[in-house]
A = this chain, B = another copy of it.
Amino acid sequence: MTHDPSTPQRPSPETIRALTDELKRSFGERVSASKAIRTQHGNTLTWGQNAPPDLVVFAESTQEVSAIIRLAADRRVPVIAYGTGTSLEGHLNAPLGGVCIDLSRMNRIVDVRPQDLDCTVEAGVTRLALNHHLRDMGLFFPIDPGADASIGGMTATRASGTAAVRYGTMREVVLSLTAVLANGEIIRTSSRARKSSAGYDLTRLLIGSEGTLGIITEITLRLNGIPEAISSGICSFPSVKQACDAAITAIQWGIPIARVELLDDMQVKACNLHSGLDLPETPLLLLEFHGSPDGVREQSERFGAIAADCGGGTFNWVTKPEERSRLWQARHDAHWASKGLRPGADAVVTDVCVPISRLAECVEATQRDLAENDFVATIVGHVGDGNFHVQLMVDHQDPRESAALTGFVDRLVQRAIDMDGTASGEHGIGQMKRKYMIAEHGAEAIDAMRAIKAALDPLGILNPGKILPQMP
């Protein structure tokens, strides 16, 4: 069952010119082939080379997306969707050129239904814009990947973030999607029912498919009530192992932790330098609990007892918003603090995820690897999910550093896979991690993925060169 998802050739300049003219007739000024716009839509945050599309169209409705895809399909031109450009793994690059459909103007919040705790938004709505809109209704959308990404992009990459341990990832919170397929047909993947046993799960098939099976234009999301009370706390541990043990024990006890973040000693050191803190330069856990006032007190006290049992220091916890922000400052500053460790270098961020029982071992082996190879790097982990990020400060211009970086990521991913983990917990595969897909899934499962891709996108026009490894 090996299918060749017939990857299109790079379209000829004549083809692109003809398509551009055709698109301009419908979209006028909303079609751009300027160098600046194209480069900006290629890839801004990844460590791969920028590969811009041939042109960018700013779409304003699902019907427009459908019309653009039909025109592109007629000429077999690649189509790449764009939200906010915060992808880290080269999802937006256009290695064969083609049309980039910018969805950022599709930013309407279509409906919010407080009784059903759900809402429907267009793909270009960002998570902060959504939460701003929801706040007065006492509701919030819990997925927080850090960047103010678009909901469409978060869906396409199966994003998650700090609150996934309690609220799940995009896989769990998306109820239904509207998407445009490679033939221009518009589908809705599911009703708004909270659960269904009616047919193939097209919703979950599209979530995480990175624009290779369809372009997501509307998303129906589960929401949560803003918790009555929130407590935040931090606790230092002598070792990563002890910090992870505390988190595992708390989860086993059924404490509904809302967030549990690990900063490694290098990250704490960076935060002390950057933000003038005086935290002990050992692994640090930062926690958050959501519930009733009595509930968060009980959860915080129980966690404090567990932390002490595991050899941690005092668990300091607070409930007032300004005090919570102060305690979590190290986490909020982590990215910029890390960059401060080597001013002028590029910050490369990568992530893997392993079963939580293997997390400490995986982090510690990774720290040894970083030290042995003289990297300036920090580690931040979403401990409750077994997911962690390594942020490396490197000089891309130096071929030796570039090669060392590649070697490091190869070893990191293989280490995670060897522990029955995954090449990416939340950033996605894009271009940069395609080469690990067979090691993770096996050739037979990749064949099944290729068969699905070929069935839904027989011309191979949707975001070519992503997710699936190159054919041998």
Contact = CB atoms under 8 A, between A and B. Distances in A.
Interface of A: 1, 3, 113-118, 138, 157-160, 164, 168-169, 171-172, 181, 183, 185-202, 204-205, 207-209, 213, 224-225, 227-228, 248, 251-254, 256, 290-292, 294-295, 298, 302, 353-357, 385-387, 416-417, 420-429, 433, 436-437, 440-442, 444-449, 451-456, 458, 467-468
A169 B201 CA distance: 13
Nearest to A429: B198
A198 B433 contact: yes
Most buried by B among A1, A251, A447: A1
Contacts of A198: 422-424, 428-429, 433, 436-437, 440-441
A164 B195 contact: yes
Contact of A202 (B181, B190, B428, B445): B445
Contact of A449 (B169, B199, B291, B444): B199
B355 A113 contact: yes
Contact of A193 (B188, B202, B421, B441): B421
A456 B452 contact: yes
A249 B422 CA distance: 39
Contact of A200 (B172, B213, B294): B213
A14 B138 CA distance: 68
A188 B355 CA distance: 16
Contacts of A447: 185
A448 to B, nearest CB: 6
Given A191-B422, A197-B424, A198-B428, 7 more contacts: A1-B183, A157-B197, A193-B420, A195-B385, A198-B422, A204-B204, A452-B452
16 contacts: A1-B456, A1-B458, A117-B251, A160-B195, A171-B204, A191-B440, A193-B420, A193-B425, A194-B353, A194-B387, A195-B426, A196-B425, A202-B449, A225-B254, A294-B298, A451-B456
Contacts of A186: 444
A48 B155 CA distance: 40
A144 to B, nearest CB: 14
A30 to B, nearest CB: 26
Contacts of A251: 117
Nearest to A200: B449
B193 A422 contact: yes
Nearest to A353: B193
Lowest 7 A-B CB distances belong to which pairs? A204-B204, A455-B455, A196-B422, A115-B357, A193-B353, A451-B455, A187-B445
Contact of A117 (B252, B291, B453, B468): B252
